Amino acid sequence: MRLDGQYGTGAVIADLAGFPSVPRGKDDTVLDQESIQSRLHLPADQQFSRWESGLVRQLYDCPDVPVGPEGCRCRVVVATHPALEKKSRIGHTRKGVVYELFLTHLPQDAFTASDVVALYLHRGAFEPVLADEDDEQDPDRWCSHSPGFPRSLADRLAMDLDRAPGTGASA
């Protein structure tokens, strides 16, 4: 289950324990924890890029991190990218870097950090691809305004009929 940032707190993570979910973390104090800070000083585990935006995120996988006042332990994937001139609407900007937090109980041996981010951002990585279908033109627009389309279609259908068993010139 994908949950937006308003649900990314320790209390919600505790309620969702045992249920596969990926909420975006909203508590930036998680970034101040020693385990997170020490992990961020090491090389990233993976890179994640979105072809439609060209944005490349560095991913840091941090297992067993206490989140929220309740201290609910979960896996935190920290995604970082350089801040742009325009203030980022998502994530927490610190010293020219945008930090995004993704909280989950999904196991590291089954889901990479990149998988976790893809599940959240792309809802399984199909959304951007399938969203292109929404932008396609109506067939009525291009069929009626493309010269030769009805004739090409008729020719294609006739060829298929000629090849069908029991039809065509040899029947």
pLDDT of residue 23: 81
* pLDDT band (50, 70, 90) for residue 47: very high
* pLDDT band (50, 70, 90) for residue 36: very high
Alpha helices (H) in 10-92, listed in sequence order: 10-15, 34-40
Q: Which two three-digit tokens encode residue 101?
A: 């937090």
Query: What does the mean pLDDT of the chain come to?
Result: 76
pLDDT of residue 38: 96
Burial of 136 (0-12, 13-18, 19+ CB in 10 A): exposed
Is the pTM here over 0.85, yes or no?
A: no
Cα separation, 84 vs 88, in Å, equals 7
Is residue 59 scored above 70 in pLDDT? yes
Is residue 29 scored above 70 in pLDDT? yes
